[in-house]
Amino acid sequence: MGGILGMVKPFPHRGNPLIPPNPGSDNFEHDCVQFCYNTAMVEMTREIRAAVDGLLAETRAHDGLAPLDVERFWADQAVAAADPFGAAIPQVPLGVLMSGECVYAELGIAEDYWRYDHDDAWRVELNRAYNDRSEAIVGRRLLSETPADPARVWPETKTLADIFEAENVWMPGTWSWWLQESAHDEAGLAALLDRVEARLEGLRAFLLPANWEAEKDRLTALGVPPPRYRGQRGPVTFATSIFGIENLLYCIMDNPNLAARFRDTILRAMFGIADVLDAETDQPAPHGFYFADDNCYLLSPAMYEFFAFPIVKGMFDRFSPDPGDARYQHSDSAMGHHLPLLGTLNFTGVNFGPTVPVAEIRAHMPGAVIFGQLAPFTFSRNEEAGIVAEFLRDFAQARAHRGLVFATAGSINNGSRLTGMRLIMSAIQRFGRF
């Protein structure tokens, strides 16, 4: 490959280039730029560095706004996003469309995720203020300004975690929910599985709330689509959440019969949830299933094949039987050792951790749309040189086969700025055209 993109190489791990620069250094500004390059894991040739530095210089010359033909970008985005593998797409599709987590740094207010999720008027107020900024910076209002309508919300049904007696607890210090262990040793797991297996015999009565029938009639008359079960915290993440990481690893190695029973009960329960909810409507059952399994990296390939793979394959076989059906996995972790096995499942979309290269994913998953591989902290720390460098790296690896949607390799966190999104758009428009 010729030109600038042909000069992007993986960063060679030598010495310790990932130590942040010393503010007392005489070369602090230079070191900051180099640190951004290093953390992007891209070796910068003179030409690549000149390209990145040139774009950043233009950005700073325009008060931090990267050069961009906004309307042309969004017109090209509409074509590219419709078919990331398309032979006629004009540019790499953008997958960084921000999230509600980003309102705090952008608006200069303290983080309060609980209130954002539970005070709908406040959420709409923040989103509207955020959108005023996003419209000016990237040309679109990105977050929903539509108030929630409680009258059009289905009553909450129980989940896989409830079936396995695991409590989901809000941890204020982490601003997130944490699923708690419901079994702490092998004897406790065996007893839990006894109760779960009994519960599965009358699953409908367990899953659906007491007001279900009345609400079902009311909401069906309003035309509100019924809830379905087509996504789940992945098998390793779920199992380690309710049984513990070390407990699961030792159980697979030392008591494979119990581990197999655990695995099979999880799959049976997942089938059961989907079957119950699908039976509550006469609408056709949708195809497709997705997993979010960050913790899959904890298992060796052999352990994953034994414990997790049958669950993933079982759900795909049941709910994604046709070639075009969605088969998606998010695993924001260093899980590249599972690519050979996962590659047999014909994924249609993946979002893996930032240490898993586009080229490596593509080698095992030729038909999957790759959402990545911008490191979330490169974006949330506003490391501008790293943002551009990581795009150049990923586009160079994806250009021949396409199918890349440039997105964070994981979540979009608070600290991620609209000017950073515009910089990505500018990099796509300048360097990421086909």
> What is the three-state SS of 323-358?
CCCCEEEEECCCCHHHHHHHHHHCCCEEEECCCCCH
CB 342 within 8 A of CB 366: no
Regarding predicted confidence, which is higher, 297 or 16?
297
Regarding predicted confidence, which is higher, 329 or 32?
329
Could you tell me the two tokens for 39? 């953390």
pLDDT, tens only, 238-258: 999 999 999 999 999 999 999
Burial class (CB within 10 angstroms; exposed 0-12, middle 13-18, buried 19+) of 323: exposed
Burial class (CB within 10 angstroms; exposed 0-12, middle 13-18, buried 19+) of 318: middle
pLDDT, tens only, 374-433: 999 999 999 999 999 999 999 999 999 999 999 999 999 999 999 999 999 999 999 999
pLDDT at 10: 40
pLDDT at 172: 82
**How far apart are alpha carbons 419 and 376 in whole angstroms?**
15
Q: Above 60 in pLDDT, residue 35?
A: no
pLDDT at 16: 40
What distances in angstroms separate CA 365 from CA 5, 124, 139, 400, one per listed residue?
Answer: 22, 39, 34, 14
pLDDT at 174: 79
What 3-state class would DSSP assign to 106?
helix
Encode burial over 50-67: b for 16+ CB neighbours within 10 A, e otherwise.
Answer: ebbeebbeebeeeeebbe
Q: How confident is the model at residue 3 (pLDDT cuts 50, 70, 90)?
A: very low
Q: Above 70 in pLDDT, residue 317?
A: yes
Regarding predicted confidence, which is higher, 224 or 26?
224
* Lowest-pLDDT choice from 90-104, 171-185, 213-227, 268-282: 171-185
pLDDT, tens only, 119-176: 999 999 999 999 999 999 999 999 999 999 999 999 999 999 999 999 999 988 778 8
pLDDT at 26: 56
CB 209 within 8 A of CB 155: yes
Q: How confident is the model at residue 18 (pLDDT cuts 50, 70, 90)?
A: very low
Average pLDDT, the chain: 91
Which range is most confident: 41-55, 161-175, 218-232?
218-232
What 3-state class would DSSP assign to 422?
helix
Question: Helices marked H in 64-119 — which ranges?
Answer: 70-82, 103-107, 113-118
pLDDT at 268: 98
pLDDT at 175: 83
Q: Above 80 in pLDDT, residue 39?
A: no
Q: What is the mean pLDDT of residues 337-361?
A: 97
Peptide bond into 329 cis (omega under 30): no
